[in-house]
Copies of this chain bind each other. A is one copy, B any other.
Amino acid sequence: MLATPSTDCSIQRTLDLIGDRWTLLIVRDLFRGVRRFSRIHEDLGIAKNLLTDRLSLLVDAEIVERTPYQQRPLRHEYRLTAKGRALSPTLVAMMRWGDEWCSGGQSPTELVHDDCDTRLELQCWCTTCNVPVPPTQIDSRPGPGRALNTAKAAHG
């Protein structure tokens, strides 16, 4: 969680916010509806001081918001913001990878389409052609956010 000297890489910037051992697990719990300090604490087994620290970093980063769920005694819960919910594909990607490569292809939990109960895949999607795009049809190029760099074969 260092202030890295702003390299022009979105992966780097993302990891600066969520790239430690606990943060994404906290976000996962919030997705699952585990929203209170004590519940997250017991679910993850994270030390309380670290949980306090990580939650406040997440709130600072506007990934999570802290809202009261009762007065007297005043208690807060933690909820994902739109920015936080946008981490969904990242978590899904990790989950699918873990399923495939760390659990012998057997998912502990499956994600399915609520309409038809089909197990979901994660893919790149072209909004123009309206088709999924496999890795082989992906090109990369320097984007509007700072150029100057070579950015040749930037990904796969």
Contact = CB atoms under 8 A, between A and B. Distances in A.
Interface of A: 1-2, 8-15, 17, 19-21, 24-25, 28, 31-33, 83, 85-118, 120-129, 132-133, 135, 137-146, 149, 151-156
Given A19-B24, A125-B125, A102 B139 contact: no
B10 A96 contact: yes
Contacts of A92: 93, 124, 155
A93 B127 CA distance: 16
A122 B10 contact: no
Nearest to A43: B7
Contacts of A25: 11-12, 15
Given A109-B9, A138-B113, A156-B31, A123 B89 contact: yes
A125 B126 contact: no
Interface residues of A, dominant DSSP: mixed
Contacts of A151: 108-109
A42 to B, nearest CB: 13
Given A20-B19, A83-B101, A96-B89, A137 B108 contact: no
A90 B94 contact: yes
A113 B99 contact: no
Given A10-B98, A114-B137, A117-B139, 7 more contacts: A9-B98, A10-B97, A10-B108, A14-B94, A33-B152, A92-B93, A115-B129
What 10 A-B pairs have minimum CB-CB distances, sorted nearest first?
A10-B98, A106-B145, A107-B143, A14-B98, A118-B128, A8-B108, A110-B143, A13-B102, A90-B93, A89-B93
